[in-house]
Structure 1
Amino acid sequence: MPGSDLRVDAKLFSGYSGAEGSFDEVFSDKGELRPAWRRFIDATEGLPRAEFGRRWEQAQRLLQQNSLAYPDPRDPRARRHPWELDAFPLVIQAEEWREVAAALKQRATLLDMVLQDLLGPQRLIREGHLPAEVVFRHPGFLLPYCRPDAAPQQVLHVYGADVARSPDGRWWVLDDRCESPSGAGFALQNRIAMSRMLPDVIHECRVERLAPYFISFQEHLARLAPDRERARVVWLSQLAGSANYFEDAFLARYLGYTLAEAGDLAVRQNKLYLKTLAGLSPVDVLMRRPNSENCDPLELSDASSMGVAGLLQSLRSRHAAIANGLGSGLLESPIFMAFLPRLAETLLSEPLKMPNVATWWCGDPKSRKYVLSRVSELAIRPAYRRRGVNDSRLLELSRSELTAMIEAHPTAYVAQERVRRSTAPVWSGQDVTHSYISLRAFAVSSGDSFEVMPGGLARVSATLGPLDMSLLEGERSKDTWVLSEGPVSSVTLLTAPDEPLALRRGGVDLPSRAAEHFFWLGRQSVRAETLGKLIRAVALRLTSEQDAERIPELQLLIRVLAELGQIEPGYVVDEIKVQMPALEKLLPAAVFDEKTPGTLRATVANLAQLAATVRDLLSLDTWRIIREMNDEFQPTASDDGFLDMLVKVDGLLAGLAALTGQFAEGMTRTHAWRFLDFGRRLERTLQASQLIRAVVAEGGGTDAAALESLLEVSDSLMTYRSRYYSRFQLGAVLDLLMTDETNPRSMAFQLVECTSHAAQLPRESVVPGQMTEERLAASLLHLIRRVDPLAIARAYESGDEEPLDSLLTTIDTSLPKLSDAVSHHYFFHSGPAQRLARD
């Protein structure tokens, strides 16, 4: 171990050494500390190893709380946060980074020139600089991308490059990311976490900030818009649950863009629009995540659900701009690396400043002969990259199998030199070991050049296996520090304090999809709460010291469980002692059954899924509550599943109570909150009606025990007892649960709120009178206000069930109509019918 001058050697780097045959980022071959790391070592002097580990654990928790890469909540096998940050950064000197940045600017410029030509005049093909079959065999080369007669237009706006060092310390480009490079959000989140972990160290090391890159990002997208002053930029993401969705939500929020899915957008008369509550709002710039072929089902892949029909025609008409241009992913295929060195000389009149890994296309006879002579030493890859297709199977083939494969289809494969990546220290929590490094760097167009992020996303792996398949490859990531030579200027995305702002009230520009998801988020939260309280009421009675046969309401509550679809009706038998053993085994399995719609676990999963789709519009605390509920409300392998279920249901109800508080006190009264609360009020009315029907109208539960359990599940027992003590009578119960407008759990209270929401939702000013949803809500409120609960109770107790049944039936049939009216009015935007043929 080198360096008597390393004062913290024993604290953090004790026992560390790089891998033989690889360039080590920290120590030279002679064991000397590299200059960039000397500054880091000096800055961490005096920081004990235990304190360093404690801070790292805090940084990990921060990432988990922010859930940048949180997996699809619909997948119970992927509950853990997949993104892990290493405690040590990758440290690079400013002088060295200037060379890297210059090379990446040159490469991005070159790639954009190549793309403009391939999708335009195709002079490179006609003049023999690129073989025609290299381009025309490309499965991603589609004619709709091409505009041979149009004026030159930039295609590559945002660029990513996977780079690594060879054993001699030289940087090489391993892969180009031209489609829609991901990872900038991960890099930013890593920096945020590290700034919490080592704020003084970052300041003392003079680490370059990432904000200038994102400012250039914003400025460039604004320049793409026809009206730069009021440009509307929409970030088009893939569906919620996709690998990059949380990065998209994070960046859209950070940059101030509207996050949208394809269903949020529409093309009308060749113009691109965002579907909002106020109608169709024009979109100026689209920052896309989906692959090019998935962007327009009308002209491209009709099997994709991520596209916007008519998008290509809108782009051709120049009513909207897009980054990156459709077809930009062509150059992600490694086949082009075989030609880029020559293309640089042709188009730029200079060699590449950073070479890409040596590449041979097997379609060239001379290259194929060379490849076959060294097939065991080279990495064989498909010539054309297909996103989402894992080609690691080629690593498992023998020399003879690879040879036969290449000879059978030579144009379909390339061979590349293997790069032995550099090593850097990683923190295991106690020890420091080495791992292999790959860096994804980012560049965004800026004027006539590109702005390179000072740093990037470093990924580490314990082995030398390929890291180019996806960002989730590898074991963890590192923050990348570029050390400034002087003081670091304070740059921020925040608006200058002296810049005047026009006061605004938000709301009507809420995307219709987001409004719909908020509406159903509200409904699912109330549904989960009702089911949780019902299941807890049953479980508490089943675990009571009292004999089950002496709990008269238990049989009724079990019947209600069956009525609400939580257990099979066959378990509702007359003898409670017969069903007790079966229920104790059945109920936990039924509660945690995620595959059956309507179960409590499925409802919680739906709640988390809906929240994920509007993650960019929720506060961090709200999202944490939902994420933790979804994480915690999972089955365990405990022998006592019934008691564990009861504990987890209790925890879930506490989380739902916290969520209700966040909804009530943590959301601005925009239309997002209004739709959420509308959904909650509508669902609570429906749940109250169903509970009264199941317990009283169909269950015949009019005795004190049954009425008490009904009030318990309805969360109104304390209020009832404060008024009537323990005198349970049907009329008083119906009054409290149905007509009492001072009870926040009553039907009347919910319908007052529904009527208010319906009246305050956006509407077309030219439409006279009330909208359908207003009339339905007002009609239901009028109905419930005319109810005489004592008269209904007397009739029911005297054998006349019709008044109660008729009332509940009217409510049960009217509420879905109200929900449908809201959906049809605000969540769907259909264009006018067009005649496709003459009469």
Structure 2
Amino acid sequence: MADSLIEPLAQHPPAGHFDTLRGRAGGDRLAAHWNIFFAQEIERLKGAGGIADTAYALTARLDELQQQLARNVEDNGITYNVYSDAVSRTRPWSVDLFPAILTQHDWLGIRDGVLQRAELLNRILADVYGEQRLLRDGYLPSALVHGHPGYFRAAHGIRPAGGTFLHIAAFDLAQGPDGKWWVMSQRTQAPSGLGYALENRIIVARLFKDAFAQLHIERLAESFSALVRSLAAHSPAGDRARTVLLTPGPYSETYFEHIYLARYLGITLVEGGDLVVRDQQVWLKTMKGLEKVDVIIRRLDDDYLDPLELRADSALGIPGILQAWRAGNVVMANAPGAGFLESASVLGFLPALSTHLLGEPLKLPSVASWWFGERAAMHNLLPALSDYVIKPTFNDQARRFVPAIVKRLKPAELQQWRERIVARPEAHSAQAWMPLSHTPTWTGGSASRNEHALASQPPIGMRAMMIRVFALSDGPGRWRVVPGGLTRIAPQGREVVSMYRGGSSADLWVMTDRAPATRTAAMGHHRVDNAVTSRAAENLFWFGRYSERLDNGVRLARIALESLGNTELDLSGRTMDWLHQLAVENGLVNEATASPRVARLLFERALVASLPDRRAELGAYSVATVLDALQRAAFAVRERLAQEQWSLVNLAQQQFYATLGSGSPQTRQALQALVQLTDQSMAMTGAQLDRMTRDDGWRMLSLGRQVERMATLGAALASAFACGVVNDDAGFSLLLSLFDSTITYRSRYQQHRDAYALVELLVLEDENPRSLLWMSNTIMGRLKRLPGIPAAAWQSDGELDGLPHCWDARHLLALADANAHQALAAIIAQAAQAAQRLSDRLTQQYFVHAHALTQSVGS
């Protein structure tokens, strides 16, 4: 049934390429596993009462699944970035609807070959960083190894804990025209793809539950659990080992994967600044102080690890970490210095190395590879380059060296390549060109109900693909292969597979003869103390401050625009001056802007023009700059935020700019954008209150909000008393609006307006979240729960004496009753000053650890 329905809807690959859908090159019937796959979807249509005997019904169903997949990618925030992309331009991860499917026969051959290679590569590393017999005996050219930037002379003589150099190795495999699998490249420095493979599995397997169960697809979860256990077993700390994942940071192209893996493995995501080396030990800077780190899964390239011994300009590494590793005090996965094995030229030497070191030939062959640095290879290859692909020998982190398929080159281009190779033979490698197998991909087909139209433009495309398979350490001297992996697919009509250059991915299913898995992935059941790092605490603190700053800025901008546009509202000169003062202090206009009392229209235009000004080119750090700062702070702690929070920040930003338009916005547009942003700001606040665990990180976020609120509203209230705005009806109303307390005031005091009532509600009411006393009490409650400083110390230091919980309520009310507004202003202004002092104290205590600067850092 599936054969007859699917065959007309599926393209054929170019001649000479293996067809994974049909099981061979030039086939005309579906492979057995693909027959089962599509049969499950056809049966589902029948069960749902669909029109199962037409191609349109199936294509409509697959289009629906494609849309669901795209929503899942967007909802989960799965991204793959390009270096130098701004945070706001992260690229959605590209994953195909159909998985790539491996039979058990194919998989067993791949698994055995990868296990053998993991052992072989580990032995090569042990020799190269040990006795170096392979170099002396000519099994590896010394110039290829020692000339490679991935070789570390400083690591010579070091044997990592358990003798394991590689804990995570990745192998890129391609299927030739005869269906045989070949290793095309290997990744040994900081292999990427594990997290994406897991996320692809969770999304795609959920869409095709019946096929997943019917084909008995292997699960992935156990391999990840084994990796964590293995890393702990390599550490002297054993089961008590603290493991972290070291990331270059939010601008890394695979940062989403780092977040995802850290969450899934239950370990702490750290950047270089989160770690410090003291006495040859690695420590994590947390809110509770320094905590020892035993294992580092690193996604940071070797060059950037240690500015003391490697790149001195690296701001991503940790000074002294190589010495801590030398001393055996930290396990690194992978060990520094494994990068030279990634060279395409190394593959050509592996067959002889396998026989020499393991006493057996390679079970999984490498594609034929040569190094032009060998004179004989260059002499033989240069005249017959058309059968090869030219690749870089050494690291090409800038990705300037695009592999060249020589048979696709024009004569002039071929001559240029020959000249480059002759000029620098050691920098070039050659691999035999292999026509890649093609896998089915869904391109869509429900636009037409005409089955003949579907057949003339088949919705199932065929694209070149490679698979990335991972070997993970399984205890000292042992490895296991993840039963699945990452399928990478070339763009339509191209043969170079690269995610960086526009490729996509697919889930990789491995069939087994065991009973079907009921779950596709599972988290570990053990509880881990996931410490709040100092960096995370700082970013959460500022995430809270920017959230509150956005809320206050939007409210103030609305109040100013609405009041200035309300002809029925009698604004006094001092009230307009007060609005101008607040607008300047809160970054809504630059200080050179005239007060609305002098030039109302010019002030309004300046305020509106500054709202979308992201770079403060108009001299005002207005709403757009706060939105961008909020996004950066949120992005830096994505591993600690619910996906809904991240989505809310992005949505708020996108809609704000969309509403304001690309040109000069009008007041009407500005007010519409501000109203939308008010609702979204409230949603962000709700997510922070309801979707986060009350740990030290959340307390820092809450403190950030209260400190910002105290500083902003305290200063606004003090200036309102100082300027006499509270004596104006309009000014009194605007002040209540700014504190979001209008309804409460009216219900309690009706139309009676005086300073006494204002102080009672906005300063001393301990049940009003917008009163200064409520903020003060909340701040003290959060401080008492923070580690490192006894609760009484916050008060005894005297730094917080200006907070409202220290004030004499009767004295304040007496001043208000006597209309002593200047005295009130002086006292209330202390709240904003105390908030700033508190911010500085938190920074010193928890973010920069100023109290510990006298201790030595480094090796």
**TM-score exceeds 0.5:** yes
1:672 aligns with one of 691, 697, 716: 697
Which residue of structure 1 aligns with residue 558 of structure 2?
A: 536
Deviations 1:765-808 (A, max 9, x none): 7xx9514787433552344444745555577x6xx764244324
Measure the CA separation in 1 of the matches of 2:190 and 2:497. Answer: 15
Query: Per-residue deviation at 1:585?
Result: 5.8
Hey, what does 2:472 align to over in structure 1?
444
Letter in 2 for 1:45: I
Answer whether contact 2:183 2:365 (CA < 8 A) is retained: yes
Of 120, 124, 139, 2:149 maps to 139
Say which SS state the counterpart of residue 486 (structure 1) adopts: coil
Q: Quote how far apart the aligned CAs of 1:814 are.
A: 2.5
Structure 2-normalised TM-score?
0.88
Instruction: Tell me which of 728, 741, 750 is aligned to 1:703.
Output: 728
Aligned twin of 2:271: 261
SS in 2 for 1:390: coil
- CA gap of 1:606–1:77, structure 2 versus 1, over 3 A, is closer
Aligned to 1:716: 741
Contact 1:537 1:709 in 2 (8 A): yes
Q: In terms of mean alpha carbon deviation, does 582-591 or 364-373 score higher? A: 582-591
In structure 1, distance between residues paired with 2:568 and 2:14: 68
Judged with a 3 Å threshold, the aligned counterparts in structure 2 of structure 1 residues 531 and 76 are, in CA distance, closer, same or farther, namely farther
What is the match of residue 455 of structure 2? none
Say whether residues 1:238 and 2:248 are aligned partners.
yes
Taking the TM superposition and a 5 Å limit, the aligned residue runs for 1:304-703 are 304-392=314-402, 398-430=413-445, 431-447=459-475, 448-463=477-492, 465=494, 467=496, 471-489=499-517, 493-494=522-523, 509-541=531-563, 556-573=578-595, 574-576=597-599, 578-579=601-602, 582-583=605-606, 586-590=609-613, 598-635=621-658, 637=661, 641-642=665-666, 643-693=668-718, 695-697=720-722, 700=725, 702-703=727-728
Give, in whole Å, the separation in 2 of the partners of 1:686 and 1:292. 44
**1:176/1:332 contact within 8 Å kept:** yes
Separation in structure 2 between the aligned mates of residue 23 and residue 254 of structure 1, nearest angstrom: 36
Residue 60 of structure 2 is aligned with which of 41, 50, 71? 50
Question: Which stretches of structure 1, 4 residues or more, deviate above 6 A after TM superposition?
Answer: 149-152, 393-397, 545-552, 594-597
Whether contact under 8 Å (2:464, 2:494) holds in the other structure is no
Distance 2:495 2:759 in 1: 67
SS of 2:184's equivalent in the other structure is strand
Q: 1:42 to 1:594 in 2, by over 3 A?
A: farther
Listed one character per residue, the Cα deviations across residues 116-147 of structure 1 (whole Å, up to 9, x for unaligned) are 21122211111121121111211232222222
Q: CA deviation at 1:202?
A: 1.5
More moved, 118-127 vs 651-660? 651-660
Q: How much has 1:393 moved relative to structure 2?
A: 8.5
| 2-structure distance, mates of 1:372, 1:362 | 9
Write the distance in 2 (CA, Å) between the matches of 1:702 and 1:466. 76
Unaligned runs of 5+ in 1: none
Question: The residue matched to 1:739 in structure 2 has which SS?
Answer: coil
Q: Which moved more, 1:543-552 or 1:578-587?
A: 543-552
Unaligned runs of 5+ in 2: 46-57, 446-458
Looking at structure 1, the residues matched to 41 and 792 of structure 2 have their Cα atoms a distance apart, in angstroms, of: 70
Letter in 2 for 1:141: Y
Taking a change above 3 Å as real, the CA distance of residues 728 and 144 of structure 1, as seen in their structure-2 partners, is farther
Q: Deviations over 1:26-78 (max 9, x none)?
A: 02313121122122122222443222222221222112111132759996685
Identical-residue share of aligned pairs (%): 30
Q: Within 2, Cα distance between the matches of 1:150 and 1:207?
A: 36
Secondary structure, counterpart of 1:530 in structure 2: helix
Give distance in 1, aligned partners of 2:830 and 2:11.
74
Q: Partner of 1:32 in structure 2?
A: 29
Per the TM alignment, residue 324 of structure 1 is displaced from its structure 2 partner at its CA by 0.5
Task: Specify whether residues 771 and 135 from structure 1 end up closer, same or farther in structure 2 by C-alpha distance, changes over 3 A only.
Answer: same
Give the C-alpha shift of residue 326 in structure 1.
Answer: 0.8
Q: Could you tell me how far apart the structure 1 residues matched to 2:401 and 2:217 are?
A: 37
- Aligned-partner residue type, residue 92 of structure 1: L
Kept after mapping to 2: 8 A contact 1:522/1:677 = yes
Displacement of 1:667 in angstroms is: 2.6
**Cα distance, 1:691 vs. partner?**
2.2
Alpha-carbon distance change, 109 to 390 in structure 1, aligned in 2, over 3 angstroms = farther
Counterparts of 2:751 and 2:664, CA distance in 1: 35
Q: CA 1:429–1:468 in 2, change beyond 3 Å: closer, same or farther?
A: closer
Alignment partner for residue 14 of structure 1, among 9, 14, 20? 9
> Does 106-115 or 390-399 show the bigger shift?
390-399
Deviation at residue 656 of structure 1 after TM alignment: 2.1
Equivalent-residue separation in structure 2 for 1:150 and 1:55 (angstroms):
47
The code of the aligned residue for 2:848 comes to: F
Tell me the TM-score normalized by structure 1: 0.90
Question: What residue in structure 2 maps to residue 248 of structure 1?
Answer: 258
Distance in 2, Cα, partners of 1:192 & 1:835: 46
Equivalent residue letter for 2:542: W
Could you list the per-position Cα deviations for residues 461-482 of structure 1 after superposition, in whole angstroms to 9, with x for gaps in the alignment? Answer: 234656566x444332111111
Q: How does 1:763-778 map to 2 (within 5 A)?
A: 763=788, 770-771=793-794, 775-777=798-800
Q: Which whole-Å CA distance do the structure 2 matches of 1:74 and 1:538 have between them? A: 38
Q: CA deviation at 1:308?
A: 1.4
Q: Distance in 2 between matches of 1:594 and 1:349?
A: 69
More displaced 10-residue stretch of structure 1: 170-179 or 608-617: 608-617
CA contact (8 A) 2:593 2:603 kept: no
Change in Cα spacing, 1:167 to 1:73, as seen in structure 2 (3 Å) is closer
Q: Name which of 826, 838, 850 aligns with 1:806.
A: 826
Aligned-CA RMSD value: 3.2
* 1:153 pairs with 2:163: yes
Give the CA deviation at 1:632.
Answer: 3.5
* Alignment check: 8 A CA contact 1:334 1:385 kept: no
In structure 2, C-alpha distance between the alignment counterparts of 1:334 and 1:115, rounded to whole Å: 16
- Tell me the CA shift for residue 330 of structure 1: 1.7
Contact 1:596 1:602 in 2 (8 A): no
Q: Distance in 2 between matches of 1:300 and 1:127?
A: 29
Is contact 2:9–2:460 with CA below 8 Å preserved after alignment?
A: yes
CA shift digits 1:506-544 (9 cap, x unpaired): 68x422222222222211111111011112223444666
Deviations 1:363-414 (A, max 9, x none): 1112112232133543222210233433128688812221221111111211
Contact 1:26 1:34 in 2 (8 A): yes
Structure 1 partner of 2:53: none
2:774 to 742, 745, 749: 749
2:38 equivalent to 1:41: yes
Q: 1:577 to 1:414 in 2, by over 3 A?
A: same
How many Å apart are 1:690 and its aligned residue? 2.8
Query: Where does residue 757 of structure 2 map in the other structure?
Result: 732
> Mean alpha-carbon deviation: is it higher for 168-177 or for 756-765?
756-765
The 10-residue stretch of structure 1 (743-752 or 756-765) with the greater mean CA deviation from structure 2? 756-765
Contact 1:674–1:757 under 8 Å retained in 2 = yes
Task: Give 1:559 shift.
Answer: 4.5
